[in-house]
Structure 1
Amino acid sequence: MSETTAAAKKLTRMDLLSMAAGQIIGVGIMTMTGIAIGFTGRSVNLAYIVAGLITILSAIPQIFIGGTANFLGGQYSQIAVLSGQRLAGVYNYINLCMAFSISMYTLSFADYFLSLFPGVNVKLIGFVVLTALFGMHLLGVKQAARLQNVMCLVLALAIAAYIGFGLGSVQPGYFQNPGFTTGGPMGFLLASIYLTFAAGGATYVVNYSSEAKNPTRDIPFAIIVSTVAIVALYAVMSTIAAGVLPVEQVANQPLSVAAAAFMPRSVFTFFVVGGAMFALLTTLNFSIGMITFPAIRACNDGWLPKKLAACNKRFGTPHWILLVFYLVGLVPILVGLDLSTVANSTVILTTCIRGVIAYSAIQLPKKLPELWQKSHFYVSDTKLRVISVFTIVFAVISVVLLIVTTSPAQIVGNVVILAVCTAIALVRNKQVHLEPSYTEK
């Protein structure tokens, strides 16, 4: 393959932006908005803006790292180079557990499909969707990015329909009480922190570093721009959700409750399909690559069998790793297992990774001094520590919030997964030999 052909198959800035946007826009906007309205009423739009600011501030350590060097295994390589081998091993096995979420996105899509077309075989729909998306990734990440672009376009049309029909239906006196800041300052704060889970997700685009044309510039751009743009849209959508009906009717309700009040039936159906269903598909499509590329580096380092990292000569795709993740996602669908608790049991652990990445960023001046000095995002050591410590503190607050609102079974699941992943990493550590996994650009 010539260098020109290889470059043509790399992800452009717009590809990465589409990937990041598709990861942010998930069912979170559909379900979390109503819960946030329950916390703070019609001030939910302001809570979204605060959530966006918190999300971007928390992403800065990731931007510092991603703008300093091209880490070929994404977050796995970042942790390995900056925070050490053992911690990278724990991250690797937690990342593998994320494969369970693949089946849950697929089954959720099938449930939405069933609500529109009763009597359809849910297992068949799940099988077709999962096979099609994995097949696309077998043909190359560029093909998956093109599919993401198309699905994001449908998402944009669904959101435009919601905003276009909804703005004129917002009732007067939106910023007046009763109904505004119903939970007081504490309710507004809780809503803002809670909504960071709907606004976050763009930082995972760093796991596509090895496939990007210009990762040190384009990935930070994709993280910031996608987060700002989507949060702005969310603020407008939440204004509509909280303003077309009395607060008590939309509090703790999905976005579709408000949509049904002002959308014609045909447009409402398109919103459910193009909004909720395609939001699941974009997140699923992104997640396949998100867990695949770190796994390739982990294979090369020895955490996983090296043969799994073998790539298809024609498309350059890791067919064995993709096959493993495909089977992990397919088995629960075919046998009808309910893995929602298992899939959600990594939520707290993945939130903890934000703190680990922030800790890794603090190590930049010591571990990569020359590259850090040349980084476009270079700041003084004091500023680096202050920003990173903020992210660590916010990660702790987010974990506490999750513990308070998460079921005991899921808390136990997080503890068990962490214990098992740590044990395997410690046992496997002696057989691991980290290879250089970053380049300057």
Structure 2
Amino acid sequence: MAVEVDRMEAEPEPGRLRLSDLTAIGIGQAVGSGLITLIGPAILLTGQSAWFTYVLAVFWGFAMICPIPFITSALRIQGGFYSIVAGMGGKKLAGMYALAFLPQVINGSVYGVAMGMYAHSLWPQLNSVAFGSVFVTIFFIINLFGINVMAKTQKALVVILFCALAMFGIGGAFKISNPVFNFSNPAFFSGGAKGVFMAIMLFVYSTNGYSCIMNYGRNARDARRDVPRAIFLCVPILVLVYGGIAIVATGVLPLEQVAGQPLTYVAQRVLTPSLFVLFMIGGPLLELSTSVNSTLANNWVPIAQSCRDGWLPKSLASENRFGVPWKILTFAYVVAIVPVLLDFSIQRVVASLMLVVSGATFLQIFAYYRLPKIYPHSWEEAHLHVPNWCYYLIVTTSLVAYVAVFLNSVITLPVPMVLIGVTALIICMVYGLVRSRSEDVIIRAALWGDIRDVEAIHEATLSNEGMNR
């Protein structure tokens, strides 16, 4: 499959985001409501070993995205996953991915609904709909001021979040009474191998959101070094945070009491009333804050690039004076706020649409395999260069990890939702094939490496166009 670059663009000047900014964006995106809501259900599946399966899920989540640090050490990427698919997968696949990515915009509404619920549980006099709406609106306004303002906000929120989680972890560590490290305990792995696998699948969606760091290659000060370093840094941080919090959650109270319960149930019994209020503000509320803050930016970056290339109306990518495609951001905001205002449960809609997003992941993996072939000079000079056989093994590891998650999602979804998802995938495929023939689609080099690679691709594109005339 030929890769086409219709227009070469000079690599932009280095951005302003440092390693600490990128790491904060990744951690803030990854640590969301899952930490609060998933440990209790996991105890039902695997008992005392819920903390251990959370750690395993962190490594499984990294396995899913493990090619990204190697790719970003070779290439500076502007449009996230879309740019990878367009730059290494070809024009038709780029069109398929551009359309398949759009359902992700709805994920912002999950945080607004959850924020309203948490705030109402803490202060019953508050209207959950109004609070959730104001919450999403605040971060919409913050994101309108650009990536740098979003990143500074994210860093401050992550610091406060970690203080709240540390308060819970340290306060609970002195009250642990269960044998949390006794692997021979009958309560450990109580659900057997199946229970462990199901718990990992339950946790895994909360463990690799930091892959969004790759979206900020244009804004990073030293993208080829700091983006992969930030991704790697997120793994041990998540192991410590998730593992430590889960150890306290499973170690303080009898398992039969905490099984199926949210983390707030344990926190209310571990902390004093005043500290519990501080934990709720600095923990669950800020977890949602960091997630929605980066989610809004993560959504518009790939969509904006696909608009510039002509897959979607180019006018949508027009930017304000802070470099933000405000029309796309406003669209993402409206999609996020409407379910909150209508007090609408969107779990079924999200579940069926996420099948489309999961299917699009396989387009990414196809593109991963082509890096050494399409960008040979960039790959040879990459900071994380490894032999090709080793790189292909890394990509295959990602493929296997994704296939397991994808099949588990398909098996657990009702048949009508699977049919909706499959139909949507077919629509994306047809759209990519048809739209790729349009003269309005102009693929730009939205990733930068060794100039020899980009020039070779561009020359091949011009040669193919000449032969087709």
Question: What is the TM-score normalised by the length of structure 2?
Answer: 0.87
Q: What is the CA distance between 1:7 and its match in structure 2?
A: 7.1
1:126 is aligned, of 111, 128, 132, to: 132
Find the counterpart in structure 1 of residue 238 from structure 2: 230
Q: Distance in 1 between matches of 2:345 and 2:192?
A: 38
Establish whether residue 437 from structure 1 lines up as the match of residue 443 from structure 2.
Answer: no
Establish whether residue 276 from structure 1 lines up as the match of residue 277 from structure 2.
Answer: no
Establish whether residue 180 from structure 1 lines up as the match of residue 161 from structure 2.
Answer: no
Find the counterpart in structure 1 of residue 152 from structure 2: 146
Q: How does 1:341-420 map to 2 (within 5 A)?
A: 341-408=348-415, 410-420=417-427
Find the counterpart in structure 2 of residue 88 from structure 1: 94
AA aligned opposite 1:316: G
Q: Distance in 2 between matches of 1:7 and 1:157?
A: 35
Q: Distance in 1 between matches of 2:205 and 2:339?
A: 26
1:416-439 deviations in Å (ceiling 9; x for gaps): 432333333333222222111111
Q: Distance in 2 between matches of 1:194 and 1:143?
A: 33
Q: Distance in 2 between matches of 1:295 and 1:174?
A: 45
1:60 is aligned, of 47, 50, 66, to: 66
Are the equivalent residues in 2 in contact too, given 1:140–1:317 (CA < 8 A)?
A: yes
Tell me: CA distance 1:186–1:311, structure 2 relative to 1, closer, same or farther (3 Å): same
Q: What is the CA distance between 1:193 and its match in structure 2?
A: 4.0
Find the counterpart in structure 2 of residue 316 from structure 1: 323
Tell me: CA distance 1:346–1:205, structure 2 relative to 1, closer, same or farther (3 Å): farther
The number of residue pairs the alignment matches comes to 435
* More deviation, 118-127/148-157: 118-127
Find the counterpart in structure 1 of residue 273 from structure 2: 265
Tell me: CA distance 1:185–1:123, structure 2 relative to 1, closer, same or farther (3 Å): closer
Q: What is the CA distance between 1:239 and its match in structure 2?
A: 0.9
Q: How does 1:63-78 map to 2 (within 5 A)?
A: 63-78=69-84
AA aligned opposite 1:57: A
Tell me: CA distance 1:227–1:412, structure 2 relative to 1, closer, same or farther (3 Å): farther
SS of the aligned residue for 1:210 comes to: coil
RMSD: 2.2
Q: What is the CA distance between 1:360 and its match in structure 2?
A: 1.7
1:205 is aligned, of 208, 213, 228, to: 213
Find the counterpart in structure 2 of residue 248 from structure 1: 256
Are the equivalent residues in 2 in contact too, given 1:39–1:183 (CA < 8 A)?
A: yes
AA aligned opposite 2:403: V
Are the equivalent residues in 1 in contact too, given 2:14–2:220 (CA < 8 A)?
A: no
Tell me: CA distance 1:54–1:331, structure 2 relative to 1, closer, same or farther (3 Å): closer
Are the equivalent residues in 2 in contact too, given 1:101–1:343 (CA < 8 A)?
A: yes
Find the counterpart in structure 2 of residue 22 from structure 1: 28
Q: Distance in 1 between matches of 2:107 and 2:66?
A: 26
* More deviation, 222-231/338-347: 338-347
Q: Distance in 2 between matches of 1:311 and 1:102?
A: 21
Q: Distance in 2 between matches of 1:12 and 1:170?
A: 38
1:3-30 deviations in Å (ceiling 9; x for gaps): xxx9796222111100000011011111
Are the equivalent residues in 2 in contact too, given 1:69–1:216 (CA < 8 A)?
A: yes
* More deviation, 225-234/183-192: 183-192
Find the counterpart in structure 2 of residue 3 from structure 1: none
Establish whether residue 114 from structure 1 lines up as the match of residue 117 from structure 2.
Answer: no
2:162 is aligned, of 156, 159, 165, to: 156
Establish whether residue 423 from structure 1 lines up as the match of residue 430 from structure 2.
Answer: yes
Name stretches of at least 5 consecutive residues in structure 1 with no aligned partner.
Answer: 1-5
Tell me: CA distance 1:124–1:45, structure 2 relative to 1, closer, same or farther (3 Å): closer
AA aligned opposite 1:181: F
Are the equivalent residues in 1 in contact too, given 2:14–2:218 (CA < 8 A)?
A: no
Q: How does 1:32-71 map to 2 (within 5 A)?
A: 32-71=38-77
Tell me: CA distance 1:159–1:409, structure 2 relative to 1, closer, same or farther (3 Å): farther
* More deviation, 297-306/222-231: 222-231
1:37-66 deviations in Å (ceiling 9; x for gaps): 222211222222222222223322111211
SS of the aligned residue for 2:386 comes to: coil
Tell me: CA distance 1:280–1:85, structure 2 relative to 1, closer, same or farther (3 Å): same
1:249-293 deviations in Å (ceiling 9; x for gaps): 222221122222212122222222221121111111111111111
1:351-380 deviations in Å (ceiling 9; x for gaps): 444443333221011111110111111122
* More deviation, 425-434/217-226: 425-434
Question: What is the TM-score normalised by the length of structure 1?
Answer: 0.92
